[in-house]
Amino acid sequence: SSDPECDTTTSDQVTTPQHDSSSCVDSVIDLPLGVSAAVAATNAMAMQAMQQRLEKRKQVSREKQAALNAFVDKKDVQIESTKSSEISSTSPQLPRKLSSIYKKVVGGRQKVNISSDVLSPQLYLEKILAERNYPYERIVSLDSGYHAKPTVHQKASYGVAVVQAVRQNDEDRLAQFVEIGISRNPCNAFGESLIHMICRRGQYKLLKCFVDNGACLQVSDDFGRTPMHDACWTVEPAFECVELLLKADIGLLNVVDCRGSTPLSYVRQNSWQLWNDFF
């Protein structure tokens, strides 16, 4: 039809451009490959940078920790030195004269250097017995006849007055108590007798007073300690008391207490040589 209104092919109509299908396919495929390569390269660089930052942080952390440890160690040394100086400055220092008086009155003893080749009295005694072919067998006090339950008379005789007589080393007063009729082996409920106390104090005359009046020296307390244990426990060796005990029963040296300690185990180390000379 020649009617312009019916003509669909007017000059104002927009026509769709025609493209080659092969070129379209090539452009669609090439673009993602390039992007992927760029992204992969960027990611690799980012990972490398991140690893470098992590290594740097770890190095800084190690350096900080080392510095902190050194600081703490230095502070600890300073604190310890401060404490030592404070203790040394606050500790009372006695003059030499007062120090000697203190050791004499209070009972402190100066340190005695013991030679390493000095045997203990126990080992020295066992050595002598072995050289002379004498047997040495230990006796458990609590499992033997050395230990017995205190009687009523023994506990009643262990009073304040008789204990005070021993502490005051009053031989005459103690003899009066014995004549009155107290037990020759006064002891407390734990079996610790006046004989133990006398031997521990090295009071030979008081010990002889009891022995002359029939006291028994073959006794022990509830810990298994015999009078010989206490005679070896003196500050200074009391060999007179030891000889008196050995004359009554030489087997007292073989008796062990509840801890398995012999009497000679109680000897102070600074008296070892004196005891060895005694044996």
82 in the same domain as 134 = no
259 in the same domain as 189 = yes
Report whether 258 contacts 190 (CB < 8 A).
no
Instruction: Tell me the pLDDT tens digit for each residue of 121-148.
Output: 999 999 999 999 999 999 999 999 999 9
pLDDT of residue 170: 97
In the numeric block, which tokens belong to residue 176? 């009066």
CATH code of the domain covering residue 232: 1.25.40.20
Q: What is the DSSP string of 148-179?
A: -PPPHHHHHH--HHHHHHHHTT-HHHHHHHHH
pLDDT in tens, the chain (279 residues): 445 444 444 444 444 445 454 444 444 445 455 666 777 777 888 888 888 888 888 887 788 777 777 776 666 556 555 555 544 444 444 444 434 433 333 344 444 455 557 999 999 999 999 999 999 999 999 999 999 999 999 999 999 999 999 999 999 999 999 999 999 999 999 999 999 999 999 999 999 999 999 999 999 999 999 999 999 999 999 999 999 999 999 999 999 999 999 999 999 999 999 999 999
Say if 214 falls within a structural domain: yes
Say if 32 falls within a structural domain: no
Helix or strand holding residue 128 (H, E): helix 121-131
270 in the same domain as 132 = yes
185 in the same domain as 53 = no
pLDDT of residue 63: 80
Instruction: Tell me the pLDDT tens digit for each residue of 210-250.
Output: 999 999 999 999 999 999 999 999 999 999 999 999 999 99
Report whether 178 contacts 195 (CB < 8 A).
no
62 in the same domain as 139 = no
In the numeric block, which tokens belong to residue 36? 């992927």
The model scores a pTM over 0.85 = no
Say if 91 falls within a structural domain: no
Terminal CA-to-CA distance of the chain, rounded, Å? 157
Say if 22 falls within a structural domain: no
230 in the same domain as 181 = yes
69 in the same domain as 201 = no
In the numeric block, which tokens belong to residue 141? 């006090």
274 in the same domain as 151 = yes
Report whether 266 contacts 232 (CB < 8 A).
yes
Say if 4 falls within a structural domain: no
269 in the same domain as 137 = yes
In the numeric block, which tokens belong to residue 155? 């506990």
pLDDT of residue 116: 55
151 in the same domain as 74 = no
Q: Of 86, 107, 139, which one is at a domain's C-terminal end?
A: 86
pLDDT of residue 139: 96
Say if 152 falls within a structural domain: yes
126 in the same domain as 81 = no
Name the domain count of the chain.
2
Report whether 179 contacts 162 (CB < 8 A).
no
Say if 30 falls within a structural domain: no
Domain range for 51: 45-86
77 in the same domain as 151 = no
Say if 233 falls within a structural domain: yes
